[in-house]
Structure 1
């Protein structure tokens, strides 16, 4: 049974580190959540380490700049692990070939920046779909358009037998009060059409391996029993944490605010939360309306 808590500090002393989702937990795509920032500052003051674990399809340095602009200060976290970095490492190892068709927005082109940890990177070049050996997908070209508009290109890709590297397994995110499609929606559609998608962010193991390496670089790596994952994505944050045998705190006021009947700034309705989790067939140990 999932326990609904009022604040993270009720359970925080049980843990040495937290893997914390960004969008929906620390910010809403427009501005930071002050209470979430305060909660992470408090956790760090008591000796906890905060790893921001995000499905952002970009290098961690760019994510650090982005969240600073949103109002998340440096003293609220210790390090960052991104889906983008996990996927970039695979790309530079040549998992989808060297000539790739790129899907995404202009801001996502940082995906192709060199990585110091890859000593002999594959010579990646972006080419038209007709010439491609694989696909690198950081998201749809238009995040507000239905992914089905990409069917013609994806059909050609499937016919060519191309693998799609998905840099962000999230299906949707909410930027303020607007919902946007992510790379995960494209990858899911491609699989539904019979294509092959490769995933590197939550809930898949590669990003958790990266998070543990980043945590270990800060000092001693705590046991999994001393790490808690915090997130609002039931199919990404929570499924991933449980798959890694980590405790987790489900933030109900994010993507599933309507389903869990979580009002702005409030707590989920216990009955609605239970029904939602039964449908998802997942049982996080803890839940709270908003990270605070």
Structure 2
């Protein structure tokens, strides 16, 4: 069903799980109507969890959203795939695949500087365009270490445009026979985490910009879905989307 704005259907739901990148902001700044939508939901007492495929912990994502201009009171929490991943690696020695210079905030782990000394390879981010997929493939060729992908997104929004995300890197390892555990959308664990933060309400709408992650994940969790034609879905033909969402709108607006 095509809608012009979220206000048309908002009162049909008790709570919402809203994607961060590609819906609320583009990685650099808020989309034009994002703050207004979240303010209106807050005014209607419809709680929101910002549910994001991000290799960073929930606190880092929460602070990013606030810095961009969303009041803390307008969302319950940021539920990140990195937070789910943290629960899978505590007490382990890990080698992090990610963006150069980024601190992913993992705790109760030993950071290994080499793959040889690691119990787990944690694929938390992507260093594209500085590191190519072929270079990652070369790194993985000799590995047999289990991996956890803390961000299954295969594309990421950057100032350079859409680039390969950590999910694309992890998929290379999986295709080479590597053992990969996925933490994040569309997999169930992040939905259970987010719903617990909301107190497990009955009528929930998932909003995102990716049919592969947001729509598939929401449907898999038995929830209603809304796709915005922004972010990774900008310019796509609705008829080509799979799976199909319950609702579609051009942008995140009221």
Give TM class, smaller chain.
Answer: over 0.9
Q: Distance in 1 between matches of 2:45 and 2:106?
A: 36
How far the C-alpha of 1:107 sits from its partner, in A, is 5.0
User: Which residue pairs with 1:167 in the alignment?
Assistant: 150
Structure 1 vs Structure 2 CA RMSD = 1.7
Q: Distance in 1 between matches of 2:75 and 2:196?
A: 16
- Does the Cα contact within 8 Å between 1:230 and 1:249 map onto a contact in 2? yes
User: Which residue pairs with 1:152 in the alignment?
Assistant: 138
Q: Distance in 1 between matches of 2:236 and 2:130?
A: 22
Tell me the secondary structure at the aligned position of residue 242 of structure 1.
helix
Are 1:247 and 2:220 counterparts? no
User: Which residue pairs with 1:235 in the alignment?
Assistant: 212
Are 1:51 and 2:37 counterparts? no
User: Which residue pairs with 1:266 in the alignment?
Assistant: none
- Does the Cα contact within 8 Å between 2:120 and 2:145 map onto a contact in 1? yes
Q: In the alignment, which of 34, 37, 56 is matched to residue 36 of structure 1?
A: 34
- Does the Cα contact within 8 Å between 2:218 and 2:224 map onto a contact in 1? yes
How far the C-alpha of 1:283 sits from its partner, in A, is 1.9
How far the C-alpha of 1:54 sits from its partner, in A, is 0.4
- Does the Cα contact within 8 Å between 2:76 and 2:197 map onto a contact in 1? no
User: Which residue pairs with 2:201 in the alignment?
Assistant: 222
Q: Which protein is bigger by CA-based radius of gyration?
A: 1
Tell me the secondary structure at the aligned position of residue 180 of structure 1.
strand
User: Which residue pairs with 1:87 in the alignment?
Assistant: 85
The unaligned stretches of length 5 or more in structure 1 are 115-122, 261-272
Deviations 1:117-164 (A, max 9, x none): xxxxxx53424112222201112344554322111210111xxx2111
Are 1:288 and 2:233 counterparts? no
Higher mean alpha-carbon deviation, 28-37 vs 3-12, is at 28-37
Q: Distance in 2 between matches of 1:47 and 1:131?
A: 49
TM, length-normalised to structure 2: 0.93
User: Which residue pairs with 1:24 in the alignment?
Assistant: 22
**Gap change, CA 1:107 and 1:236, over 3 Å in 2:** farther
Q: Distance in 1 between matches of 2:53 and 2:170?
A: 14
How far the C-alpha of 1:37 sits from its partner, in A, is 1.7
Q: Distance in 1 between matches of 2:190 and 2:86?
A: 11
- Does the Cα contact within 8 Å between 2:195 and 2:201 map onto a contact in 1? no
Tell me the secondary structure at the aligned position of residue 41 of structure 2.
helix
Tell me the secondary structure at the aligned position of residue 109 of structure 1.
coil
Q: In the alignment, which of 80, 83, 94 is matched to residue 100 of structure 1?
A: 94
Q: Distance in 1 between matches of 2:79 and 2:53?
A: 9
The unaligned stretches of length 5 or more in structure 2 are none
Q: Distance in 1 between matches of 2:58 and 2:94?
A: 22
**Gap change, CA 1:176 and 1:73, over 3 Å in 2:** farther
Q: Distance in 1 between matches of 2:251 and 2:25?
A: 11
TM, length-normalised to structure 1: 0.81
User: Which residue pairs with 2:71 in the alignment?
Assistant: 73
- Does the Cα contact within 8 Å between 2:55 and 2:104 map onto a contact in 1? no
